Structure 1
Amino acid sequence: MIGAAEIVPGVSGGTIALIVGVYGHLIDGAGHLARGVALIVADGLRGRGLARASAHFRSVRWGVVLPIGVGMLAAILVGAKLLAPLLEEHPVATRAVFAGLIAASLVVPIRMVGARWRAREIGIALVAAAITFALTGLPPAGEANPSLFVVAIAAAFAVCALVLPGVSGSFLLLTVGMYAPTLAAVNDRNLGYLGAFIVGAMLGLGVFVSGLQWLLANHHRVTLVIMTGLMLGSLRALWPWQGSSNDLLAPSGDVVLVAALFLGGAALVTALIIIEHRLVARRLLAADIESDPVPDAAGHAPHRG
């Protein structure tokens, strides 16, 4: 589901991770992986060995992260073949379904914020929503034939969407004219392009995840408030009727069908939320989002929930 979301412009993989309850695990695992790789380089050059890097690698919840990674890779490979043509042939219907998914999923960060929202927090969420609304309204750039350096830089920014609900990496690529070249690289197995993209993504994760972990640990509530605003603003990119320059158009055609698809997407997310709530009630699933930037002394991530 996360991999499929990353293929669709306007849909955030981080949002899907929040919905299905694996967001905390991904943040934690990405942070440890990025620090482990950085320490391999830093400590290796200084002759300090690999003990610190190994501690971070052992703290990754591989039983969660690896299946998610395999599923994401498979979904991206399949989605590049299936979802891209679907978006081109049925853009209104496809956006309607994903708009319903995102609209219903707003309850996830709202519930995680907890107690009653204060006026200042509502204002912060609205500012974040306005910024995302403006960004998703930018017209797409012309298709580019980017250098590998530009590919890496774009990937470093786009990968932030994987850990930031409401922000779509595919949409960021679309606005700079690199969405179609990236899909083509996946379909054509262009290893040079994909290698540059992966290197840039790892660099982006290393910098961005550390900052997000710190925010979740030290400003948990306001971070979730901002996430809520980002998700709300991202709905602008999923308005079913849009022009070629992302301008919003009035409803037309089979409006009843579009509304039904929107409600169907919302119903799917609502069902997932209800299931998650029942699992939490039965203590089968952790109810909180936590980050763990420091490896456990025993070499394993501490148990939570």
Structure 2
Amino acid sequence: MVKNPLLLFSKGIAMGSADVVPGVSGGTIAFITGIYDELLDSIKKLGPAALKVWFKEGFFAFWHFINGPFLLTLGCGILLSLFSLAKLINWLLVTYPIPLWSFFMGLILVSVWHMLRQTPSINVCSLGALAVGAVFAWWFSGMSAMQVEQLRLITFFVCGAIAICAMILPGISGSFLLLLLGVYEPVLNAVSTINLPVLGVFAAGCMTGLMLFSRLLSWLLTHARNATFGLLTGMMLGSVNKLWPWKQPATDTLVNILPTTYQEMTGEPSQLAIAAIMALLAITFVLTIEWIAER
């Protein structure tokens, strides 16, 4: 039985708000609000063992085994937040792209610093993993983006399975992984328009990812923490290639250009000052969360 369902629901809202933007991890919010261990333990119980309990002892025993009240209350808060913010983010992407991407970039950069602080020790292994992650993310995020009409339902399934793993990683967000995979905007659009086929397949991918990958990631964090954190940090650092606010179309992709070049080529203001302010706001936001967590 959940002791304070309203408080847990509000924590779910905070986690959903974090997961809808690339940079802040829902896992980080869970860690800060003191529910990370319970969340991880509950997720680990989702699997064959839980089904055995259901078949042998009935639904109520199964519900108790997986900590159902906790997961349901938290999940409702997360879903409410996701659906509430999706339309706003979708509108901002179209109306104010440079300030929004600048905010996202600030979130990623300060999260890199946060991840480095969480790394137990900086050594050759972690630095090598960081370099590999950065190079891979820079190369991968620079590939030509998939068009919405070219996306298949299997793509949303696979991306959901990958992105949901961020829930158990304090420091890296599911939205960041979706951004890196090139499906952030299509998924956001599906949420804001209530596209049930896409959302259903994406949710199925999320459930599959939780059951298959959560144990692997938990093992990696236990047995190869330095290398895992280094790889994740490098991926976040390399994603700056994708988040750079000033871009210009070139053949079948977008290339990064300087703010001054953007203004010369498009005839539109570069909004450099606004971009800098938004990035600083993002950095201040994450540092404030950390300050609260330490106290």
**Fold match (TM-score > 0.5):** yes
What are the equivalent positions in structure 2 for 1:77-92 lying under 5 Å apart?
77-92=83-98
Q: Secondary structure at the match of 1:243?
A: strand
1:170 corresponding residue in structure 2: 178
What are the equivalent positions in structure 2 for 1:112-131 lying under 5 Å apart?
112-115=118-121, 117-131=122-136
Describe the superposition over 1:144-190 as per-residue Cα deviations: whole angstroms up to 9, x where unpaired.
Answer: 27665554344223433444516624325635xx843x444433434
Contact 2:126 2:227 in 1 (8 A): yes
| Equivalent of 2:109 in 103, 128, 144 | 103
1:292 corresponding residue in structure 2: none
Residue 260 of structure 1 aligns with an amino acid whose one-letter code is I
Q: Which moved more, 1:32-41 or 1:200-209?
A: 32-41
Structure 1: stretches of 5+ with no match in the other structure: 280-305
Partners of 1:28 and 1:82 lie apart in 2 by 31
CA spacing shift, 1:173–1:131, aligned 2, 3 Å:
closer
Residue 21 of structure 1 aligns with an amino acid whose one-letter code is F
Q: Which moved more, 1:149-158 or 1:131-140?
A: 149-158
CA spacing shift, 1:189–1:257, aligned 2, 3 Å:
closer
Contact 2:133 2:234 in 1 (8 A): yes
Partners of 2:220 and 2:34 lie apart in 1 by 13
2:161 corresponding residue in structure 1: 156
Higher RCO (CA < 8 A, seq sep 6+) = 1
Question: TM-score scaled to structure 2, two decimals?
Answer: 0.74
CA spacing shift, 1:136–1:149, aligned 2, 3 Å:
closer
Residue 187 of structure 1 aligns with an amino acid whose one-letter code is S
CA spacing shift, 1:129–1:184, aligned 2, 3 Å:
closer
Following superposition, the deviation at residue 69 of structure 1 comes to 2.9
Following superposition, the deviation at residue 27 of structure 1 comes to 7.3
| Equivalent of 1:251 in 247, 255, 259 | 259
Q: Which moved more, 1:159-168 or 1:231-240?
A: 159-168
Contact 1:128 1:233 in 2 (8 A): yes
Contact 2:162 2:209 in 1 (8 A): yes
Q: Equivalent pairs: percent with the same residue?
A: 25
CA spacing shift, 1:163–1:148, aligned 2, 3 Å:
same
Contact 2:50 2:65 in 1 (8 A): no
What are the equivalent positions in structure 2 for 1:49-64 lying under 5 Å apart?
49=57, 53=62, 56-58=65-67, 62=70
1:261 corresponding residue in structure 2: 278
Contact 1:30 1:205 in 2 (8 A): no
Q: How many residues align?
A: 266
1:3 corresponding residue in structure 2: 16
1:283 corresponding residue in structure 2: none
Partners of 1:78 and 1:111 lie apart in 2 by 32
Partners of 1:273 and 1:156 lie apart in 2 by 28
Q: CA RMSD in A?
A: 3.3
Q: Secondary structure at the match of 2:182?
A: helix
Partners of 2:35 and 2:215 lie apart in 1 by 14
Contact 1:158 1:173 in 2 (8 A): no
Contact 1:35 1:53 in 2 (8 A): no
Contact 1:152 1:198 in 2 (8 A): yes
Partners of 1:269 and 1:91 lie apart in 2 by 21
2:9 corresponding residue in structure 1: none
2:28 corresponding residue in structure 1: 18
CA spacing shift, 1:227–1:159, aligned 2, 3 Å:
same
Following superposition, the deviation at residue 131 of structure 1 comes to 1.1
Contact 2:17 2:85 in 1 (8 A): yes
Following superposition, the deviation at residue 206 of structure 1 comes to 0.9
Contact 1:166 1:232 in 2 (8 A): no
Partners of 1:155 and 1:92 lie apart in 2 by 27
| Larger relative helix fraction | 2
Following superposition, the deviation at residue 229 of structure 1 comes to 1.7
Structure 2: stretches of 5+ with no match in the other structure: 1-13, 261-269
CA spacing shift, 1:104–1:153, aligned 2, 3 Å:
closer
2:4 corresponding residue in structure 1: none
Partners of 1:52 and 1:39 lie apart in 2 by 12
Q: Which moved more, 1:188-197 or 1:264-273?
A: 188-197
Contact 2:141 2:242 in 1 (8 A): yes
